[in-house]
């Protein structure tokens, strides 16, 4: 469904993605991991159409994303930091995103799931970081998409909301969706991910299951396995 071929991106003299190649052909949860500066965010922004690579191709359902923007209708994106206008309400941001995307949306079940009914008429600037993240989750999951990109999705969430988010992710996986997730919380990755894609200096240093990673590195858990990769 997603095919990356010879992808390269530099900022000045710094090469951030260096001849990146991999395919995601089936639904599941793929954790994109790596230290700061490894190319994770740049790769996600290329996939979203926010960064243009100097070289290589990205195919989405056999469609070159550099030649069309229609594929973005199939993407759901949960950014690490939700940057909303402070002076509009929760209801207004939900309706605004629906108007922009021009797609059927079902926000009400998600509003109920995260208990946001009493916040609908409140301005976003007056909300806590955790509540803003819940709004962000509603905006991401209210559309019918085939790919979800979740960048540090647990930021600011309380334990109950975290459980609800993991249930949404599990439901999306059961529907056959591709879920790309970045997180610094290794226990979350270990719980959810079907496959680890570890980037280092713009290259794939490892791609495979958690079991394969542990076997290769002899790490007792994901944290120790990643540490072993960094030291090799």
The secondary structure element, H or E, covering residue 228 is helix 222-231
| C-alpha torsion 63→69→71→74, nearest 10 | 170
Domain of residue 43 covers 2-231
For residue range 183-203, list pLDDT tens digits in order. 989 999 999 999 999 999 888
Give pLDDT tens digits for 29-73. Answer: 999 999 888 889 899 999 999 999 999 999 999 899 999 888 999
Could you tell me if 153 and 181 are in contact, meaning their C-beta atoms sit under 8 angstroms apart? yes
Q: DSSP character for 232?
A: -
So what's the pLDDT on residue 80? 82
Q: Which residues, including other chains, have CB under 8 Å from residue 4's CB and lie 6 or more apart?
A: 20, 21, 22, 23, 56, 57, 58
Q: What pLDDT sits at residue 96? A: 95
Judge whether 75 and 48 are in contact, CB under 8 Å. Answer: yes
Rounded CA-CA distance 51/140 in Å is 20
| CATH code of residue 73 | 3.40.50.300
> What is the pLDDT, as a whole number, of residue 57?
94
Count of structural domains, the chain: 1
Q: pLDDT tens digits for the chain (232 residues)?
A: 899 999 999 998 889 999 999 899 899 999 999 988 888 989 999 999 999 999 999 999 989 999 988 899 999 999 887 788 899 999 999 999 999 999 999 999 999 999 999 999 999 999 999 999 999 999 999 999 999 999 999 988 999 999 999 999 999 999 999 999 999 899 999 999 999 999 998 889 999 999 999 999 998 999 999 998 888 7
The predicted pLDDT at position 206 comes to 93
């Amino acid at each position: 469904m997603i095919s990356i071929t010879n992808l390269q991106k530099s900022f000045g003299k710094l090469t951030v993605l260096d001849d990146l190649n991999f395919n995601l052909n089936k639904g599941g949860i793929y954790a994109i991991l790596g230290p700061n500066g490894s190319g994770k965010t740049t790769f996600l922004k290329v996939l979203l159409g926010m960064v243009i690579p100097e070289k290589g191709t990205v195919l989405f359902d056999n469609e070159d994303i550099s030649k069309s923007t229609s594929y973005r209708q199939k993407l759901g994106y949960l950014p690490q930091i939700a940057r909303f206008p402070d002076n509009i309400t929760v209801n207004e941001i939900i309706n605004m995103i629906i108007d922009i995307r021009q797609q059927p949306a079902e926000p009400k079940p998600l509003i109920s799931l995260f208990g946001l009914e009493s916040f609908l008429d409140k301005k976003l600037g007056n909300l806590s970081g955790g509540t803003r993240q819940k709004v962000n989750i509603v905006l991401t999951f209210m559309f019918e998409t085939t790919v979800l990109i979740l960048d540090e999705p647990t930021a600011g969430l309380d334990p109950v909301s975290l459980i609800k988010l993991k249930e949404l992710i599990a439901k999306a996986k059961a529907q056959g969706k591709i879920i790309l997730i970045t997180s610094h919380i290794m226990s979350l990755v270990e719980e959810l991910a079907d496959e680890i894609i570890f980037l280092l200096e713009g290259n794939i240093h490892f791609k495979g299951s958690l079991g394969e990673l542990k076997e290769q590195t002899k790490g007792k858990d994901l944290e120790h396995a990643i540490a072993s990769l960094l030291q090799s």
